[in-house]
Structures are given as structure tokens and as C-alpha cells.
Chain A
């Protein structure tokens, strides 16, 4: 299978599920999907030889964009699935229920951006400290650690243990 055939196949087989297909350059393809089709599209890509390199979350004010990056290594193309988790709930269906490779990154995104993945097999906290307060998401745009602002103003909400560490570093 060639790169062009893959893209043609995706367009044909997933036609009713893709909101947009953007071929930014021959090596990078971006597929936009509605939240309810996210799992089906991800499953299709995984079952057709895609390797989930990782997923990125971007905070875009009214929603959080979740981008699943699939590498089709023999074809030299990276296909990215773009789904939106609308605020304030920020809920998407979990891809980790399809294959385990997506588990860690969804847990990480839940910690850092507050996206809830529905039906995740193991939704425990992954990288934040145990005493980190609930509902504080450090990678959101509205989160400002005082060391990032340079204004000297402490900005709510309380970042928990991170503040203690930074105070130590300054001292």
C-alpha cells in the first residue's frame, strides 16, 4: 500500500465519520472527527497498521483538542486524529479500551488537562503527586504558577506541593 492509497482508503471507508481531511504535506495528514466518532476512527487506524506514537492535548478556551498521532512507519506518514472535548465537562470516549497502548497517555492527559476518558479501563492518577489538589490542571491555559507569571502575585488555585518545592528552590 502506498501513502496515497492509504489516504484514499481512509476517505472512502470513514467518509461519514470524518469532518475534515487536511493533508498539510505528504508526510502529515490531519483528520478532524466529531467526539462520538473518535473511538471508531482510532480503532480503524490501529487495526490498519497505525502505531499510536502519542496523543497531545491543547487547551483552546472552549474545548480541549485531543490529537491522537498515528505513525504508519512503512508508508512514512503520520496521521493525526483531532477530536474536541467540549468544556466544561471535557469528556471523550477512551481509546484505551481498544488497545492498551493508549492507556498511559490518556491517564496523563486526565491529570494535566482534565479530560475525562469515558470507559477507561484504569483511570487512576498517573503523574501528578498524590497530594495535588483535585480539579487543578497544570497544562490548562488558565493555570499560572507564580513562578511563570514573574509578577510575584500568587495566582489561584493553589498548586499544592509544587509551591513548596519552588519556595525551597528560591530560598
Chain B
């Protein structure tokens, strides 16, 4: 992709970068817009900034829901999997309403956005965003109260603060280890500096903290979306683009907070229409190596859950990880074996504590 970027114009690059990952298809173009705007020294108009924030937060919501479902599946709670993915659907519908697509929004460009949100659609979107809160609360409570889930996740896969800093991890993986960093707050891009929200961080450093950080972040995301929509209503419709006159020679750095952590982009320009070098660093690239201190000394049955907890995205890591990860653990253990180990442990604990899988009421 980096090589391909060198053959594309600055206007084409965000389209390609949206395809780095099917799930963080807003974060990479967002970081790209940040990098290019840093290079050119321009800023997008406020309405475009609000639209960017809304799309990024919707992406965070659906990504965290997807992850919660998968984590449930890896533990052996397929009910959680089904419910989380069921409630991911209205979020995707909302994405479609805002951008015209469930995924791959193609709305980001250097200097602004490609499509505006129509003024009369705002109340409807606002209502849909408010409706997301109830199912999320229900899911969160179910996860919080379940005894087996607590046994499976508390004290498992510890990533100490010291290790988190040494491995330079980012995003929820850092925040669950008491390293409260968040690009949205530390270097406010888009509209994050203009709305009121909190950075969630935990200090227990285990898998449960990862779960809690991600689920609580969903509520913050809804808070941000609501405020952005309300503030956006007051800006002038249609003013969403701030075209640069030319791309100067030089370099630019842009980062954005993707659901999995910070995406980091570096661009070098020689003043032509094409970049000289475009570097993309996706969050899993820094988060994955921290898997090593997390699993050493732990149970094999927990290995799968531990790696799943950091929400690894193999497309982020350029297809290296699947083979590496499995070989690193044990040459002959496949994903299927690990999944079975994990499911067996949950079943054992459920029997021991005489509980059934969590019951959810819609």
C-alpha cells in the first residue's frame, strides 16, 4: 500500500487508505487528512470537522461492538456474540444514513469532506444515536455482573504499565494499563477539542480492564456524536471543503485515534502531485508485540482471549501476524485448538459455579 501510494495523487490516496482495514475505514483516511493538512498548513472548515468526528465515533462504536461479540465467542458465550452483533446493525444503519455506506465511507479528503450531512437529516440521526444507549447499557450490565466472565477475565493477561510504555502500545491497550493516552485529547483533531468527553483508563491492566475500557468508550462515543450533531446544526450547510492551492515541498505527520489505537501516517512531498514516500503505521503493529509479556506464564486456554482482548486486526499488520502468532505459541496449536481450550475452560467454570450463560432481555 505504501508503494502504491507513491503512484497515486493526493486526491486518490484517501480512497486507497480506506482499504487498509475494513473496520477502521475512517481512521486511516482521517490520519491521512491530518498528515496532508499538516504538510500544507491548512485546516478544514468547522462543519467538515464535525462530520469527521461523527463518522470516526460511529466507526469506534461498531468496531467495539464487533470486538465485544468476538470476545464473547472466544470465551464461549455465543449469546453475547449474537447480541453484540445484533446491536451493531443499527449502528451500521446509522453509518449508512450519515455517509451513504455501511462501511468504507469515502468522505475524507485533504482540506475537508466530500459529502455534507443534510440539515433536515440531523434530528433523525440524533434520535437514532440516542436509541443506541439502551442496548449498550443492557450489554454492559450483563457483562459486568456475570461471575464466570469475571473469572475468565480478571487477573488474566496482565500488561503492566512499565511494559506498556516499553512496548510503546497505543489506544485501549495502553489505556487499560494505566497509560491514559488518547490522540483525540492529546492532539485534538477534527472536532474533539470542541466537545466535552472523557478519556477512559483503568489500572488493573488485565483483560477485564480491556473489556471495561472499550464498553465505556462506547458511551463516550455516543456523547461525542450527540454534541457534534447539535453543534453542527448551527454551522452553515455546504461549507465543508477548503481546497489547497498547491502541495508544498516538505513533510507532514498525522495521527488519529482508531478504535484499536493510534494510526500514524508520515508523508514526504517533493512538491509534485504524488508523494515521495507515504508511511502508514496501523495500531496493531505496536500492540501485537506486547502480547509476549502478557501470555508468558499464563494458561494456554487464556492465550486466545488475551490476544483477542487487544483487538488485533491482521489487515493492520500486513498479513504477517497469523502465522507468526500461532507458531510463537506452539507449533502445532491451531486457532481451532485454542478456541476449544478456551471454551472448555469456560464450561468448566460454569459447571463449578453453577451458572448459565448470561440472559439478555431486549
Contact = CB atoms under 8 A, between A and B. Distances in A.
B289 A54 contact: no
Interface string B156-190: 00000000011111100000000001010011000
A127 interface: yes
B7 A148 contact: yes
A51 B7 contact: no
Given A51-B168, A58-B276, A148-B3, A101 B286 contact: yes
Contact of B167 (A27, A67, A101, A126): A101
Interface residues of A, number: 34
Interface in A52-68: 52-54, 56-59, 67
A145 B286 CA distance: 28
A94 to B, nearest CB: 15
B279 A54 contact: yes
A73 B186 contact: yes
B318 interface: yes
Interface stretch (B9-17, B78-86, B210-218, B260-268): B260-268
Contacts of A126: 320
A56 B266 contact: yes
A73 B171 CA distance: 12
Nearest to A30: B251
Contacts, number: 85
A28 B38 contact: yes
Contact of B253 (A69, A76, A100, A104): A69
Contacts of A104: 285-286, 288-289
Contacts of B266: 54, 56, 67, 69
A9 to B, nearest CB: 19
Contacts of B340: none
A102 B286 CA distance: 9
B168 A69 contact: no
A105 interface: yes
A71 B276 CA distance: 23
A138 B1 CA distance: 11
B2 interface: yes
B231 interface: no
A103 B251 CA distance: 24
A21 to B, nearest CB: 15
A38 interface: no
A54 B276 contact: no
B289 A27 contact: no
Contacts of B276: 58
Given A58-B276, A148-B3, A53 B262 contact: yes
Nearest to A54: B281
Nearest to B292: A100
B253 A80 contact: yes
A101 B168 contact: yes
B106 to A, nearest CB: 23
B185 to A, nearest CB: 9
A59 B275 CA distance: 13
A51 B165 contact: yes
Interface string A69-106: 10101101010100000000000000000011111110
Contacts of B262: 53, 71
A138 B157 CA distance: 37
22 contacts: A25-B38, A54-B279, A54-B285, A54-B286, A56-B266, A59-B277, A67-B266, A71-B255, A71-B262, A73-B183, A73-B187, A99-B168, A100-B166, A100-B289, A101-B169, A101-B286, A101-B289, A127-B318, A127-B319, A127-B320, A139-B2, A148-B3
Given A54-B279, A58-B277, 17 more contacts: A25-B41, A27-B187, A28-B38, A51-B168, A52-B168, A53-B168, A53-B255, A59-B277, A69-B266, A71-B255, A78-B253, A80-B253, A100-B289, A101-B166, A105-B281, A138-B3, A145-B3
User: Nearest 10 CB-CB pairs, A to B?
Assistant: A101-B168, A54-B281, A56-B279, A73-B186, A73-B181, A56-B266, A52-B168, A53-B264, A127-B320, A58-B277
Interface of B: 2-4, 7, 38, 41, 165-170, 181, 183, 186-187, 250-251, 253, 255, 262, 264, 266, 268, 276-277, 279, 281, 285-286, 288-289, 318-320
Interface of A: 24-25, 27-28, 30, 51-54, 56-59, 67, 69, 71, 73-74, 76, 78, 80, 99-105, 126-127, 138-139, 145, 148
